[in-house]
Structure 1
Amino acid sequence: METVQSVERKFLKAADVAQILQVSETTAYRIIRKLNDELKKQGKIIVAGKISRKYFEEKVYL
């Protein structure tokens, strides 16, 4: 059985977003909240404080 660490996680936490975008965790939480609001309007189930890696990568140009 593979561990979560050996497989790329499907959800990002605020610390992950902060590191990727080089912003504070407060700003990362704000970004996650905005993206989760978009998903909620689409009828998706969201997890507070986390964002789907796939959706994050679609919405953020890196």
Structure 2
Amino acid sequence: MASYNYMMSADEVAQELNCSKSHAYKLVKAMNKELSAQGYITMAGRIPKAFWAKKMYGYEIAGN
């Protein structure tokens, strides 16, 4: 079975934005808070890549 990593870590966020890891963790925490308020289950230090794309770039990733 093929595995697809649909979650993005704070380290990957830091690389994507070329920022410090502490700032990336703050961004991930804020996005997780938003997801939690919408009723989603969240993981500390990780966010769904689809949510990242929607928040940062304004588009949605199509699911398979």
Shared topology, TM-score over 0.5? yes
Match of 1:41 among 37, 42, 62: 37
List gaps (5 residues or longer) in structure 1. Answer: none
- The alpha carbon displacement at 1:45 in A equals 0.4
- Percent sequence identity over aligned pairs: 34
1:31 alignment counterpart: 27
List gaps (5 residues or longer) in structure 2. Answer: 59-64
**CA distance, structure 1, for counterparts of residue 42 and residue 57 of structure 2:** 22
**CA distance, structure 2, for counterparts of residue 35 and residue 20 of structure 1:** 16
- The two structures have a TM-score, normalised by structure 1, of 0.84
The answer to whether residue 47 in structure 2 is matched with residue 51 in structure 1 is yes
- The two structures have a TM-score, normalised by structure 2, of 0.82
Structure having greater relative contact order (Cα 8 Å, sep ≥ 6): 1
Q: After the TM superposition, list the runs of 4 or more consecutive aligned residues in structure 1 that deviate by more than 6 angstroms.
A: none
Match of 1:14 among 2, 10, 18: 10
